[in-house]
Amino acid sequence: MTASVEEQQFTDLIAADSRIEPRDWMPDAYRKTLVRQISQHAHSEIIGMQPESNWITRAPSLKRKAILIAKVQDEAGHGLYLYSAAQTLGTSRDEMTDALIAGRARYSSIFNYPAPSWADIGSIGWLVDGAAICNQVPLCRASYGPYGRAMVRICKEESFHQRQGFEILLELMQGTAAQREMAQESVNRWYWPALMMFGPPDDDSPNSAQSMKWKIKRHSNDELRQRFVNMLVPQAAVLGVTLPDPDLRFNEATQLYDLGEIDWTEFHEVLAGRGPANAQRLQRRRDAHDDGRWVREAAAAYAHKMAAKPATDTADADVPNEAAS
């Protein structure tokens, strides 16, 4: 098969809204874009565990603790599905991990903000997981099969995350004046960084057009940001919190919300590694990698031992050993 026939097949599959699978031919740039996007996404899930796991021991009740543990565990699972999806493109897990701990890989900037109050666990669920859902639901239809399929399960779990965050804030907003103040203060800090999660404005997003052509991405950054704000406004009203944008108002002509100016300087600063918690997050990830070295070595030694065993032995591995001599 000549390259051009393969290329035509690829183009046809994309045009038919069908899926590209790991064994299919694909342009190098498509593969590279996917590896970058999926691995960044995986890193975000893993780094995103940090601000929340930090609150597990301090969660205000046993119920909250159990929910938070389950949520943080979900994020680890998301990271694993996504690393697996990226591996189908020929990049090893080790390469991706090395890039992350060496500071060469990106992850979502939102996780470079600290979570100093309990209400932040509510805001992260409501705003950060909420923004993630808006971004990720269209990715369930991404043209690359393993990515799209991973996203289906991830999105189901993200909906639970978003609701648990909303529910934390709701309970605080129905509490004492100090609790309401804590919730509002937290929403004030997370609102703008959550809007930045959709990426730069459309006219400053050079890779978007190609990703949309390849049907990896289905909507523009600004479109998704709009959709997110549309979802937030009625929910904020139920909560009784104010979204910290004095310019936010419904535009009758466009039937959309007009938003205030986003501080893109802050976005670029955090992206460049100068956010409030970049160094701390990366250091924690490096330490965890070092602390886990003995587990990886033990697992590899065990796998090696099992591989060296005669086949009959491994076939009977679960059976109490009478027949084998």
Residues that bind Fe ion (CB under 5 A): 45, 75, 78, 129, 158, 161
To Fe ion, the closest distance from the beta carbon of 118 in angstroms equals 18
Q: Which residues are within 8 A (CB) of 310 and not within 5 positions of it... i.e. 6 or more apart?
A: none
> Do the Cβ atoms of 14 and 214 come closer than 8 Å?
yes
CB of residue 198 to Fe ion, shortest distance in Å: 16
Helices marked H in 20-129 — which ranges?
Answer: 28-47, 49-53, 62-87, 93-101, 119-123
Smallest CA-to-CA distance from 118 within 51, 196, 66 is with 51
Select 14 or 121, whichever has its Cβ closest to Fe ion: 121
Distances, alpha carbon 118 to alpha carbons 109, 128, 132, 235, in Å: 21, 15, 21, 20
∠ Cα 254 258 260 (to 5°): 165
CB of 15 to Fe ion, least distance (A): 31
Residue number with CB closer to Fe ion (13 or 52): 52
The least CB distance from residue 161 to Fe ion, in Å, is: 4
In the complex with Fe ion, the residue whose CB is nearer, 6 or 157, is 157
User: What is the nearest approach in angstroms of Fe ion to the Cβ of residue 45?
Assistant: 5
Dihedral sign from CA coordinates of 165, 171, 174, 176: negative
Report in angstroms how near the CB of residue 166 gets to Fe ion at its nearest: 13
Based on CB atoms, which residue is closest to Fe ion, 79 or 199?
Answer: 79
User: Closer to Fe ion at the Cβ: 120 or 158?
Assistant: 158
Between 136 and 226, whose beta carbon lies closer to Fe ion? 136
Encoding tokens for residue 140? 């369930």
Find the helix or strand (DSSP H, E) in which 299 lies: helix 293-308
Burial (Cβ within 10 Å: 0-12, 13-18, ≥19) of residue 158? buried
In the complex with Fe ion, the residue whose CB is nearer, 30 or 228, is 228
Distance CA 267, CA 272 (A): 9
